[in-house]
Amino acid sequence: MTADSTGNAFVAFDSNGSNSLASGSIEQFSASNYSAGTTVLANLENLTDEQVAGMTTDQAGNLYAAFNGYYQSTPSGRVASGEIVEVKAGSHQSVSLINLDNQPNDTFSGALLSDADGDLFTIVNNSVSGSSSVVEWKPGAAALQTILLDAGSTLAINFQGNLYAAGSASISELPGAGTAVSTPSLVPTTGVEPTITRVALPASILTTQRLQGAVRISLHPLASGISSGFITTQLYASNGDYDQILLGKAVQHYKGGNSPFSATIHISIKMPVGAYELVAPTTDAAGDLLSSAPASALIVSAPFSNISATLVSITPTVDRGGSGSLVLQFQNTGNATASRSVSLTIVATPLGGVEPSDTLFTGQLKLRIPDNRAGVRMRLKFKLSTQAQGVQDLMTVTVQGTATVSTSNSILLEIGPEIAG
């Protein structure tokens, strides 16, 4: 529930749950007559079985509400999602601003807040990792931006635009415009503190490759010690957004106390394109969750190849109707091996570009070139026509690039006298 500067009160309602098509709503209590009940401003039609996650207004009187719910009719059945909607001041229609499509394990929670710039802030929880992140939506943005990982469960903002995120063991401040206000730092007293200490993984891979290796995490029970039971350590690749990819986990039985130990997680997984950091949350037998600091950057790229051809040398003088040869250097500047046929046409044009030109070679060449290597050289034979013409008996030889190969240089060929028949 929220209110505007004139005293009107606004409330967002869950769907009633009596049928799968029931929708949530945003309604208003008029400041002039609260006893008259509510006026429906907007019904939500995009999702079903909505649950309200937060609501706020901005300085212009626009309403914002965050809901969690489901898409009902999809090829795979019910699909979980979340949505933030806006009802502009004086309007009776909701507009979807951003959603959690393709993030079925994520939900909005905590609160929905706005600042003087119209930016919105809320918390996104991930049901798989148990992690929570503070996210920001700027007007017109196509995606949410993560501004704090491991945020806790409560969010607040002050008149200066400073955000505060509170969990069970810490309070974090995210200063906005104005003077930052200091906050207490609460030191955790229970749980197992994880630290990523050894990473045996490549720094970069392609999406066609598997990320393979192992990561060691040192685990330190806090001074108060922990009880006997199972300790679960998970390893995630975080791309800086609120979504994370589970790389693996280790479940160990701990006898209790405060002696340090470690967990090694072996990894074999394909990854989507992105820049990632490793994060390791650990949960003890009592349910206390602590997370490691991010460590070790990982770049995942889509494979591509880019073949270029350079003219290295040519028979310096060739008589009209005579034969010669030229050498081409092929290089692959991509990140994956190029193995394909390329189409080439090599022409000799009179110096200065005067036609006609003489085709020395046209056809396909089968190449296999590893990524970022010196490349391969290939010698091609050619025959100069008896009609070849040149300015001062000189011709410019070039390789005509195609979609499969690029070229950038040329080389000179001197024409000799016509071979006697």
- In the prediction, which pLDDT does 180 show? 34
pLDDT digits (tens, 9 = 90+) for 81-93: 788 888 888 777 7
Q: Per residue in 369-391, is it b (16+ CB within 10 Å) or e — as a string?
A: bebeeebeeeebebebeeebbbe
- In the prediction, which pLDDT does 200 show? 95
Of 356, 419, 348, 352, nearest in space to 392 by CA: 352
Q: Higher model confidence: residue 55 or residue 206?
A: 206
Is the pLDDT confidence value at 71 over 70? no
* Three-class DSSP category at 34: helix
- In the prediction, which pLDDT does 105 show? 73
CATH topology of domain 307-416: Immunoglobulin-like (2.60.40)
pLDDT digits (tens, 9 = 90+) for 263-287: 999 999 999 988 889 999 999 988 8
CA distance 263 to 277: 18
When pLDDT is averaged across residues 249-256 and rounded to a whole number, the result is 92
When pLDDT is averaged across residues 322-342 and rounded to a whole number, the result is 87
pTM over 0.95: no
Lowest mean pLDDT across 90-99, 204-213, 350-359: 350-359
- In the prediction, which pLDDT does 19 show? 37
262: confidence class by pLDDT, cuts 50, 70, 90: very high
Q: Per residue in 286-315, is it b (16+ CB within 10 Å) or e — as a string?
A: eebbbbbebbeebebeeeebebbbbbeebb
pLDDT digits (tens, 9 = 90+) for 141-163: 888 887 776 656 676 766 556 66
Rounded to a whole number of angstroms, the CA Rg of the chain reads 33
pLDDT digits (tens, 9 = 90+) for 120-143: 888 888 776 677 778 888 888 888
Inter-residue contact 47 to 108 (CB < 8 Å): no
Give me the CATH code for the 192-301 domain, please.
2.60.40.10
When pLDDT is averaged across residues 357-375 and rounded to a whole number, the result is 82
Question: Hey, where are the domains in the chain?
Answer: 2-174, 192-301, 307-416
Inter-residue contact 54 to 111 (CB < 8 Å): yes
CATH topology of domain 2-174: Neuraminidase (2.120.10)
Domains 192-301 and 307-416 share a fold: yes
- In the prediction, which pLDDT does 232 show? 94
Query: In this structure, which amino acid lies at residue 420?
Result: A
- In the prediction, which pLDDT does 65 show? 84
- Average pLDDT over the chain reads 77
Tokens of 41: 């401003």
Share of the chain above pLDDT 90, in %: 17
Tokens of 207: 């999406």
